[in-house]
Structure 1
């Protein structure tokens, strides 16, 4: 059922993407979401990822590294709000041209889409880079505010196809990005002829950085003895969540639970462990709680039980007395604290284990994808008041 659900979501995304951009200029597509004004520090990242067959290694690495990147972003002082999104691209004539996933604090949903990407198609070198970049600039709900670090990472190995008459060419997208305060960094995988000069130009026009990595992505991947225990505790911790609200909200949150279940079934223990560690940080609270989570709302004082109509509670709690309900919520809260304490202890041991590896293999990480992305984030987020000093998370 889980795989079928994700397959349906992927097909829907493909159909919508083809419908929206088949013969229509991407720059003419209006921003479909309302503007958000952010008063607190925030990081918003769109990954624009070539998903053709030559990118097999990089896509496999990305499925593991996205939670590492999230943890790197969360390590800033002060801790920012984090939103991510994706544009996967191929070329016209492939199964899809682009698949778009909006910017969201629901990183589970973004990760679920990333898990569906498979490296297929391509083969004729130039790809629909122009269309993918135009989508990344124009479609997301980018926040406004001086404290928001807005960034695009364009990742691929082939140059853009420049002979589509109805395409929006990358110079225009770069100009619009600069106008919106969006930095564009380019990551060239491999050394295909003709890619370097264009990738460098896009980075220059996008006021970002260009760097090159091996075709596989040169990501540093560490498995630890603590990954599986953290993953087991994480599943139990997720089960402590109780949502309240109308029927539509319960359905939305049930979908969130199904997404988490699919991650536990399909992701590696290392990826689940990194997701769990991210969720335990203040920057990951929105990903863990979602919205209108009862235990958090009551314990934080955000809501009083008396303010919540019984019909907005899960069906199995509606027959409880106020005293029984309060006791049930308190019990869940205590369970959550105990689980989180165990996770925190294992997370520290995991970090110590990895740190020893990093020190022993320091040359391995120097030119890695992890280090290059960290260098971009560290330099570009500083003017927004975000200080990164801990190095990349693994």
Structure 2
């Protein structure tokens, strides 16, 4: 279960100033950069566009009243699932989305969260979902699958590994005359190259039959878990410190751009703040571990992050209009702006190194706990990993880890 954790590169100037900057990015390997008089020169810390494989995952989740245990498991484990997917070689760009569904007559039938590398915002939405509504009978599975295939912005890249995990405990309504039935939707998914897996919660025999059919038509896998989700949930002595360091690392982000671009980044910052305020310590530790992976930088920083863009040479600080800078920097003299970027880079690298060290210790602790107890063998974590490893191999992604990340 060894996930690939980035080593934070130490780089130093031989002249007036020394700064540190991590190659804490979703794309590319670690590369050194130097600071000359507190000015960060160009580096090549990202690979180009299509050189990085893409993994796109949409969870289609029943959020009716009987699913409270599984919904909580999703909130607890989504970061571990992301880290598991980040274990691939080459390290992929990971985009996740969500379709929550209930049934007609409930507060909603479906709610769609589009695919994005911004897992923080997706997770903040997931946190709001509560188990409610529904009944003892079928649910709007047909519409949920249709929305997952048709209302999500899947990439057109044929080399991408694109996968849906349907998670629920009740069969679909096949009596709604105006529904697009799942066999038709799954035929479209197959044409698009989207794999559909079906995870049954509980023992409903009618669900069993339909879920197996969905997995077969979706060229995916069927597996069953108990009503609570059968996920591995182990706390470690490192979780609280990882969560605290991750919160400090998030404070080093400086976003720039147009007013519209900065407003979007403010939404991301607010989602992150919500996560730190409300998510469990264990979930925040799992997020810190994912963000420290080569795939996790896209979630940590996203686009338009000033320190990263200046350090990498993608932008020159002097070329940015004052009104597009982060507000605290707009009235600063150029030398003060450069000093702030260097200071922020140094702080980010120090925090990143601490997170990397603790993430390794956390993984070693979990590896022993799960191995000694045997709780991972039939867990949701391992079933998802098994499906991903087999299916992603067809797209050229290799997963060599012995087990999922927990």
Q: Do both share a fold (TM > 0.5)?
A: yes
1:61 matches 2:77: no
Pairwise CA distance, 1:108: 0.6
Pairwise CA distance, 1:38: 5.1
- Residue 383 of structure 2: aligned partner: 372
What pairs up with 1:250-269 in 2 under 5 angstroms? Answer: 250-269=262-281
More helix as a share of residues = 1
1:165 matches 2:195: no
Task: Give the TM-score of the pair, scaled to structure 2.
Answer: 0.86
- Residue 254 of structure 2: aligned partner: 242
Give the Cα–Cα distance (whole angstroms) in 2 for the partners of residues 38 and 342 of structure 1: 31
Residue 72 of structure 1 contacts residue 392 of structure 1 at CA under 8 Å; is this kept in 2? yes
1:347 matches 2:367: no
Pairwise CA distance, 1:147: 2.3
Task: Give the TM-score of the pair, scaled to structure 1.
Answer: 0.89
Equivalent of 2:145, from 124, 133, 153?
Answer: 133
3-state secondary structure, aligned to 1:384: coil
What pairs up with 1:11-22 in 2 under 5 angstroms? Answer: none
- Residue 307 of structure 1: aligned partner: 319
1:49 matches 2:61: yes
Aligned residues: 357
The C-alpha deviation readout for 1:278-309, integer Å capped at 9, x for no partner, is: 11222111111121101000111111111111
Pairwise CA distance, 1:113: 1.1
Pairwise CA distance, 1:273: 0.9
- Residue 159 of structure 2: aligned partner: 147
| Unaligned 5+ runs, structure 1 | 1-36
What pairs up with 1:80-99 in 2 under 5 angstroms? Answer: 80-99=92-111
Give the Cα–Cα distance (whole angstroms) in 1 for the partners of residues 326 and 214 of structure 2: 50
The C-alpha deviation readout for 1:303-326, integer Å capped at 9, x for no partner, is: 111111111112221121111111
| Unaligned 5+ runs, structure 2 | 1-48
Pairwise CA distance, 1:193: 2.5
Give the Cα–Cα distance (whole angstroms) in 2 for the partners of residues 366 and 287 of structure 1: 30
1:232 matches 2:272: no
The C-alpha deviation readout for 1:219-248, integer Å capped at 9, x for no partner, is: 011111111111111111111111111111
1:188 matches 2:207: no
3-state secondary structure, aligned to 1:144: coil
1:385 matches 2:396: yes
Pairwise CA distance, 1:124: 3.0
- Residue 16 of structure 1: aligned partner: none
Pairwise CA distance, 1:149: 0.3
Give the Cα–Cα distance (whole angstroms) in 2 for the partners of residues 174 and 315 of structure 1: 48
Equivalent of 1:323, from 327, 335, 338?
Answer: 335
Residue 44 of structure 1 contacts residue 84 of structure 1 at CA under 8 Å; is this kept in 2? yes
Equivalent of 1:280, from 269, 285, 292?
Answer: 292
Residue 184 of structure 1 contacts residue 207 of structure 1 at CA under 8 Å; is this kept in 2? yes
Give the Cα–Cα distance (whole angstroms) in 2 for the partners of residues 118 and 290 of structure 1: 28
Give the Cα–Cα distance (whole angstroms) in 2 for the partners of residues 103 and 160 of structure 1: 24
Equivalent of 2:346, from 310, 334, 340?
Answer: 334
3-state secondary structure, aligned to 1:377: helix
Give the Cα–Cα distance (whole angstroms) in 1 for the partners of residues 67 and 335 of structure 2: 57
3-state secondary structure, aligned to 2:296: helix
Residue 58 of structure 2 contacts residue 115 of structure 2 at CA under 8 Å; is this kept in 1? yes
Runs of 4+ in 1 over 6 A off after TM superposition: none
